[in-house]
Structure 1
Amino acid sequence: MAHRKISRFVPSDQKWLIACLIAVSSVDSVLVGYDSSLMGSLNVMPSYSSYFTLTTTTKSLNTAISYVGGAAISPLAGFLADWRGRRECVFWSALVTLIGGIIQGTAQNIGMFIAGRCIVGAGMGLAQTTAPTLVAETTPVKYRGFALGMYYSCWGIGTLIAAGICFGAAPSFVCFLILLFVPESPRWLISHDRHEEALEILNIVNGGDADDVQVQYREIADTINFEKEHSLGLVQAICKKSSRKRLLITTTFSAIVMLPGTNIITFYFGEILQNAGIQSPNTQLQINVILTSWSLVIAVISAWYTDLLGRRQLCSASLSLQTAFIFIFGALTKLYGESTNTSGIYATIAVIFLYNAAYNWGITPLTVLYPPEILSFEIRGVGMGIYTFATKCCGLLVTMAVPFGLQAIGWKFYMINGCFDVLMLVFVILVWVETRGLSLEEVDRLFDKEKREVVAEQVHEETKVDIEHKEC
């Protein structure tokens, strides 16, 4: 028996390895979901506001500062992932987030709290860049949609922890444990000339089918070699026409993820319910837990059935429903926000549930599925860093602008948001490309025909030589 190159902890069975990849995606999502949604729970707690003597400005700063940390680390995250590997960076992201959470949880003053939130944000930024890249590059095509769809679907579990018991150390420790059973990305290994390890991993994820392993290995290796031979450097790679289109779709997707209206509900749920006529903090927290549980169920079901619709169809349908619901929500807030009409208040809450269902059905499973699919290997690490940076900047805009917007113009803010959703819908219909069912190398055909033709010819010739060799 040949000496094993990869860790002995990595499962040799395909199903167990895929389960571990899905687990690292899910646990990392729980970690990110907890730390992102914690402020939604804290913002409706009078004890939190009184302890730190918060104003609208300081409340916005406390919520937004994690995005500053995430935005600061994101441009470096891609380089770190390409240099040290995807798996190692996931480990460091969990450690940084744990340290930041401890500082935040033991904060004695507002400065210490903000510092902890900023460190937490840096850890989340690194996690959101590297964990999806690792899972996308390692998981087989038939399982990729579910594995990456679960990343933000399990966000809801972290949100429930934040809304309920506010204890966040466990996800970091579980992440450390699961990483023992997860290998490095075979594509990263091939790019660093560690071919034997890559072949072992590809053999496991393909269920031991030698022919499939060899074809996939050659396709990956030839694609990476082509990129190395035809790229003068990262700047030149990013400046190529095909890469510009990939990065355009990726960065604008950040706005689709962060700005359709969902983060208004996530971070300022208390203010929204107050506008809808519900003043009790306990009632607000109860509704928040129910809403999060509802969103979690929808997201997990959607992740399982992600591949039933194409990526463009799924996003377009979700945005259409979100646009309709946010307009309805704005209208109901105008009519019943200051009233005691019980039916109107309940209708407003119902629309919040319908809006969250529309978002979690379509956008949640695509959040970290679509970007790594359309990015080529040569820019995937850096491209995911850019995507995370753009996402954090959009989050920063939301957290800093929303409270002042709601305070200044109330229900009209939702109408403006709805108009922006229409623009995003048009962009998706006109610009997005379909990637469902394609390997990461096959997606290159949609952007770079020359690369795809050259690689396909090389793979065909190498396969032909192998067949002739076997016949002899």
Structure 2
Amino acid sequence: MAVLNKSLVPRNSKAVCLLLTAASGFMATTIGYDGSMMNGLNILPSYTDYFSLTTTTLALNTSAVWLGGCIGGLFYGYVVDAIGRKNGMFLAAAFTTFSAILQAASQNIAMFVIARIFIGFGTSASGVAGSTYLAETLPHNWRAWGLGIYYDFWYIGGLLSAGITYGTAQMESTWAWRLPSAMQGFFSILCILILPFIPESPRWLIHRDRHEEAIEAISLAYSDGDHEDPIVLAQYKEIVDTLKFEVESGETLSMVQMMKSKGARKRTLLNVSVAVISMLSGNNIISYYLGTMLDNAGITDSTTQLQINIILNAWCLVICLSGTYLLERVGRKPLAVVSTALLILFIFIIGGLTAAYGTSTNTAGIYGTVAAIFLFQGSYSIAWTPLTMTYPAEVLNFSIRANGMAVNTFFANGIGLLVTFAFPYALTAIGWKTYMINGAWDILELAFVIFFWVETKGKTLEEIDELFDGVKHSDVPDLEAIMNGKADLSNLIVEGEGFDAEPTQISVEPSKKAD
């Protein structure tokens, strides 16, 4: 198991937090790159002609990535719990790089589909490891930003991919689609290069009784490496107390644990709800079949479609960054409610405009449809892009976090497989009615968020336990109160190394960072 090399990790907490976010974000870039790349490839004649694609093989080539994602979701949580969050990220990134090369070298549909399955496995494994790692390692006041930006990188990948496929569209050889495929592995390489410069998850280290390394990891994230900072000591004790409670309560790092108690079942339900809503809101139609949508709307020129793909990704990137900013100010639940309500409005508008102007030459109607598509994707991006990894990782406690994120990945990829395979048939068979059906489903999603979600902003992962269990499993004051200088730490008692060690009282002075 890799041990933290203190000489490589910066002694500046802001730098550490930025590197943590970047390492995980580069892995999410690959996912976004893939979605936009397939959008571009599905528009390129050099790709569709090379494989002689039919509706069935078009759907198969596109949706195979989700099958690989389902496989990763079945067991990669166990891997991340066993070997650590960082090592889990390394394996996932290395496998994704290999898969991208295999896809670029594809000679037939079978080879392309196998490569797509491998890429799906690698990106889903990256999602399990990266989201778990960020949630457990970033300070709580960075968590919304870090996890939100983590999935905002989806659109950075999407924008780069849209630009690359637009640039290679003029190539007359198969490199028009092979080059974008090969570039998919670049971001995983960047992630691997950053890993030596960031610490392991302190929660995983404490679970493995590596307490000295855990304190070092917390101090690097919170206090520029100062082990005696009261915020560091308080966070360490809060984690130790909570994990000790979980161990003494018989909680295990297993899938079964997610169904053992009422609190665990509610956590799991909320976790899965994000996977379902993020995949079934209608966004996947646009993410993977923008070309078909634009055909139905009356825009059939491939160059124009590729240009719209670029602009759409740039638009969504700006919007999701704005949504990430709002997560910690507005809150997770209110932002999700507003976003979902807007999705309902705009998907019905898309359906109506497509029905009215899809087969016409009315320029205003056609571009009105394009505007509605932009507004729909913006409405999705402002909440569901940053929430996709933020909310699940927050509501899951340590004993089920890695496996819970794996379950989230399984459901997301399973539903992704269903919709990306089914939507081409739906768009061909019933056209604009597809949007109306999806809009009716979005109404049910809105009702679920309103009545079942709980708010998590401003709390550490351990403090969120109180929302589900009715009690906090540590007597440490809330960290937000400590950081605002509103908590008395004069009697803070921090346990020695190991869960069975005798507690020792540590005298602390008020921290400048807490003011």
Show the 5 A alignment for 1:141-156.
Answer: 141-156=140-155
Partner of residue 61, structure 1: 60
Aligned equivalent of 1:222? 241
The residue number in structure 2 matching 1:75 is 74
Give 1:430's aligned residue. 451
> Equivalents in 2 of 1:228, 1:192: separation in Å?
12
The 8 Å contact of residues 154 and 300 in structure 1, kept in 2 or not, is answered as no
Percent sequence identity is: 44
Aligned partner of 1:93 in structure 2 is 92
Contact 2:22 2:150 in 1 (8 A): no
Q: Is the 8 A contact 1:33 1:154 kept in 2?
A: yes
Matched, 1:325 2:360: no
State the partner residue of 2:378: 357
In 2: Cα distance, 1:322 partner to 1:375 partner: 27
Q: Note if 1:206 corresponds to 2:222.
A: yes
What does 1:183-198 align with in structure 2 at a 5 Å threshold?
183-198=199-214
Q: Contact 1:6 / 1:200 at 8 angstroms: preserved in 2?
A: no
Aligned length: 466
Aligned AA (1:211) = P
Q: Which runs of 4 or more aligned residues in structure 1 lie more than 6 Å from their structure 2 counterparts after TM superposition? A: 457-462, 466-469
Distance in 2 (CA, whole Å) between partners of 1:82 and 1:197 is 17
Identify the residue that residue 405 of structure 2 maps to in structure 1. 384
Structure 2 Cα separation of the partners of residues 217 and 97 of structure 1: 34
Distance 1:469 1:308 in 2: 34
Does 1:419 pair with 2:440? Answer: yes
User: 1:113 aligns to what?
Assistant: 112
User: Does the aligned pair in 2 maintain the 1:222–1:458 contact within 8 Å?
Assistant: no
Q: Is the 8 A contact 2:151 2:388 kept in 1?
A: yes
TM-score (norm 1): 0.95
Residue pairs, 1:270-419, within 5 angstroms: 270-419=291-440
In 2: Cα distance, 1:468 partner to 1:176 partner: 40
Alignment root-mean-square deviation, CA:
2.0
**CA separation of 1:195 and 1:163: change in aligned 2, threshold 3 A:** same
- CA distance in 2 between counterparts of 1:361 and 1:376 reads 26
AA partner of residue 209 (structure 2): D
Deviation for aligned residue 1:170: 1.9
Cα 1:305/1:173, change in 2 over 3 Å: same
Offset at 1:22?
1.7
| Contact 1:238–1:379, Cα closer than 8 Å, also in 2 | no
Instruction: Give the aligned partner of residue 122 of structure 2.
Output: 123
Deviates more, 1:19-28 or 1:356-365: 19-28
Match of 1:198, as an amino acid? A
Shift of 1:449: 2.2
What displacement does 1:36 show? 3.1
Q: Partner letter of residue 213 of structure 1? A: V
Write the distance in 2 (CA, Å) between the matches of 1:253 and 1:446: 18
In the alignment, is the contact (CA less than 8 A) between 2:238 and 2:476 conserved in 1?
Answer: no
- The amino acid that maps onto 1:214 is L
Give the structure-2-normalised TM-score: 0.87
Contact kept, 8 Å, 1:25 with 1:135, in 2: the verdict is yes
- Work out whether residues 161 and 168 of structure 1, in 8 Å CA contact, stay in contact via their aligned partners in 2: no
Moved more, 230-239 or 52-61: 230-239
- Of 252, 255, 266, which residue of structure 1 is paired with 2:287? 266
Once residues 70 and 203 of structure 2 are traced to their aligned partners in structure 1, the CA distance between those partners, rounded to angstroms, is: 26
In the superposition, relative to structure 1, how do residues 419 and 13 fare at CA in structure 2: closer, same or farther (>3 Å)? same
Q: Which runs of 5+ in 2 are unaligned?
A: 165-179, 479-487, 495-503, 509-515
Q: Which amino acid aligns with 2:22?
A: A
Q: Which residue of 1 aligns with 2:192?
A: 176
Aligned AA (2:425): F
User: Residues 446-469 of structure 1: CA distance to partner in whole angstroms, max 9, x if unpaired?
Assistant: 00124x2x4228999994557976
- When residues 212 and 120 of structure 1 are mapped into structure 2, their CA distance, relative to the original with a 3 A threshold, is same
Aligned to 1:23: 22
